[in-house]
Amino acid sequence: MGITFGTSGWRAIIADEFTMENVRLVTRAIASVVKETSGTGAFIVGYDTRFLSERFAAVCAQELAELGFESYLTTRETPTPAISYAIRTKKALGGINFTASHNPPQYNGMKLSTADGAPALPETTKAVEQRIAELQAGTARIDKTATGAKATEFNPLEDYLADLATKIDFDKIAKAGLKLAYDPLWGTGRGYLDEVLRRNGSEVQTVHDFRDVLFGGYSPEPSERNLAEMRQLVLDRKLALGVATDGDADRFGFIDRDGTFVSANHVLALVLDYLCESRPDWTGGVARSVATTHLLDKVAARHGREVFETPVGFKFIGELINADKIILGGEESAGLTIKGHFPEKDGILACLLVVEMVAARGASLGEMIEELFRKDGALYCERVGIKLTAEVKDRLQKRLSADAPASIGGRRVTDVNRMDGVKYIFDDGSWILLRMSGTEPVVRCYAETHTKKDLEVLLETSTQFVLS
């Protein structure tokens, strides 16, 4: 099987496909493609807390030096958004970050970012894939330039935190003096988010703030299940809020003061509403992926903001940030960035915005959601993965490529969106989205409707539609 780049780079199982040899190969391919378009210069090379990540990063930096490129290598595991920031401030050609984000611990990955700090677009990653195949086949050759140059070590922490101070109202946070919990899930966010909160008047209690390459035996994803320990801490200590980031700190998670896990979709809607109120001079609309809640559309309409719909993948939202068309971009998979920030999702920024919002409004997230529902109507969104046999997959693909049915499960289909997967929109405003996985026999099913009870029904309807 060839080396391919997915939504967030190349990921593979350590010691199986993700080897030192393949890291060198992918580095050579990236360097070759970048050289053709941008010449030589510097790369930012970073890594997360996964097994051997620092070794893989060092090998990558060495390979870049032999190919005639400079590199800035982080001195410690570093959040993806801090890598993005460093690419821009050091005017690098791009960044190579060794991370598998929220994937299980046996995985590692190489994420390629371009000179603007954004995830590389498909046209770039496809060129890299092609170059990898040519190198493997012996139809391309890359001559090394033995410069002997060593990577320049650096730590972007303080500069990155200083940049956040230009985008977050830390005075509001300091005045509130909130008591918080933080779970970095053994990842790169430790020493970043907790540090900046403590510097600005918050009392922060942490869990899992040390390196564990096995991530406690789970995927380092800020899901409800994985935040159980932080939830108990919030309840036991009567804290105002629990905040969390994933393995590379580009995703967020929240536990409200009553122990409730708050969905990313609802967080995005709350933050949009808050930004429209607290930054009234900000111009622009809101961007969401096709899989993300339409509650954002309702909030945007109330504030007179345009909505931009994108395929799944934060790189597409990043393009809108670069074009200064939006004040917020978000994905249901807990990705967020804002106007004036860089075109990459930032879990640390997201957590700080929510803490600022709680401090400014003096209300819990649950109370704010109730108020939002009162103004805009309730919507609940969820996704599930459905495993497919080869026979069922083939049948489903034919069904999805055909004309839409008049109804599904008794719900009348009024519109179909084929931007990314197939999205069936029903006459009551509810919808389902079916997206085939590119790496495994799974279809991802997203559904949204007006009540939690009906959401269960709609997900069951979707499953029956897939498997029948």
144: confidence class by pLDDT, cuts 50, 70, 90? confident
**More confident site: 142 or 236:** 236
Which pLDDT tens digit goes with each residue over 6-54?
878 999 999 999 999 999 999 999 999 999 999 889 999 999 999 999 9
pLDDT at residue 146 is higher than 70 = no
Task: Compute, in degrees rounded to 10, the torsion defined by CA atoms 158, 163, 168, 171.
Answer: 60
Query: For 10-155, CATH number?
Result: 3.40.120.10
Q: Which fold has domain 165-376?
A: Alpha-D-Glucose-1,6-Bisphosphate; Chain A, domain 3 (3.40.120)
Give the chain's largest Cα–Cα span. 68
**pLDDT at residue 411, as a whole number:** 96
Instruction: Give percent of the chain above pLDDT 70.
Output: 99
**pLDDT at residue 13, as a whole number:** 95
pLDDT at residue 148 is higher than 80 = no
Average pLDDT value for residue range 216-241: 97
* Mean model confidence pLDDT for the chain: 95
Concatenated DSSP letters of 388-433: --HHHHHHHHHHHHSPPPSEETTEEEEEEE-SSSEEEEETTS-EEE
**More confident site: 2 or 212:** 212
The residue written with tokens 């060593």 in the block is 150
pLDDT at residue 448 is higher than 80 = yes
**pLDDT at residue 147, as a whole number:** 63
Q: Which CATH number fits domain 380-467: 3.40.630.30, 2.40.160.20, 3.30.310.50, 1.10.357.10?
A: 3.30.310.50
As a 3-state breakdown, the chain gives helix, strand, coil percent values, each rounded to 5, of: 40, 25, 35
**Residue extent(s) of CATH 3.40.120.10 domains in the chain:** 10-155, 165-376
pLDDT at residue 132 is higher than 80 = yes
Angle at CA of residue 137, ends 131 and 143, nearest 5°: 60
**pLDDT at residue 8, as a whole number:** 80
**pLDDT at residue 26, as a whole number:** 98
Which pLDDT tens digit goes with each residue over 375-390?
999 999 999 999 999 9
